């Protein structure tokens, strides 16, 4: 399975005004820095690499598989909440791109934690010699607004970054702040 972000969110889940109010900032000198902190805190939680494993603001993704599931199995769409599936396409045995039709070839289940694409019968045979022969484009996020608890977490993270702007020095050792650690952990390469 592979995921590719096609269209990022058009806005952040927390506005600059909300973050400034939370941080008790009443000037514009730090607006660029606070905006950066909002983006960093959001990336900590949102999308494929976010610790929540879900989409916050509406965004479009491509989901790739080498083949359809065996025996007509349903396809779980990651990064809930699923808003809609734009299309399901695949390459057939001849290498030609084919599109499946919602309502005829598959149905979409939007009423579970994860959305599902369910075949009407058996899935067609996808090309076995093409990597990522099956791909689904989906639209996910909270269309009516990000839950208050998640917004609160973003605001707390922004406030921590605003208040603690550098690592702490303990003796001769530089200690990572909790926020710094959470932000860089997804990017660590461990051998």
| pLDDT value at residue 117 | 97
70 and 118 in a single domain? The answer is yes
pLDDT along the chain (191 residues), means of 10: 94 97 95 96 92 94 95 92 97 96 96 94 93 97 93 92 73 58 64 52
Final residue before a domain boundary, out of 106, 121, 140: 140
69 and 135 in a single domain? The answer is yes
| pLDDT value at residue 165 | 73
Q: How far apart are the first and last CA of the chain?
A: 23
| pLDDT value at residue 184 | 62
35 and 92 in a single domain? The answer is no
Q: Could you give the number of structural domains in the chain?
A: 2
32 and 101 in a single domain? The answer is no
95 and 155 in a single domain? The answer is no
63 and 134 in a single domain? The answer is yes
For residue 173, give the 3-state DSSP assignment: strand
Give the number of other CB atoms < 10 A from CB of residue 45. 20
CATH, residue 150: 1.10.3230
Q: Which domain holds residue 7?
A: 2-56+144-187
136 and 63 in a single domain? The answer is yes
| pLDDT value at residue 191 | 52
Cis preceding linkage at 168, omega within 30: no
48 and 82 in a single domain? The answer is no
């Amino acid at each position: 399975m592979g995921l590719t972000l096609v269209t990022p969110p058009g806005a952040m889940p927390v506005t600059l005004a909300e973050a400034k109010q939370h941080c008790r900032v009443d000037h514009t000198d730090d607006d660029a820095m606070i905006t950066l902190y909002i983006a960093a805190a959001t990336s900590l939680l949102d999308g494929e690499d976010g610790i929540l494993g879900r989409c916050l603001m509406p965004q479009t993704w491509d989901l790739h598989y080498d083949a359809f599931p065996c025996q007509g199995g349903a396809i779980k769409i990651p990064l809930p909440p699923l808003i809609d599936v734009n299309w399901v396409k695949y390459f057939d045995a001849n290498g030609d791109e084919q599109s499946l039709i919602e309502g005829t070839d598959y149905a979409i289940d939007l009423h579970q934690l994860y959305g599902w694409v369910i075949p009407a019968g058996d899935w067609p045979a996808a090309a076995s010699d093409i990597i990522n022969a099956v791909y689904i484009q989906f639209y996910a996020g909270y269309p009516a607004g990000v839950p208050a608890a998640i917004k609160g977490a973003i605001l707390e993270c922004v406030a921590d970054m605003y208040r603690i702007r550098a690592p702490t020095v303990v003796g001769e050792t530089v200690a990572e702040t909790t926020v710094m650690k959470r932000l860089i952990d997804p990017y660590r390469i461990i051998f």
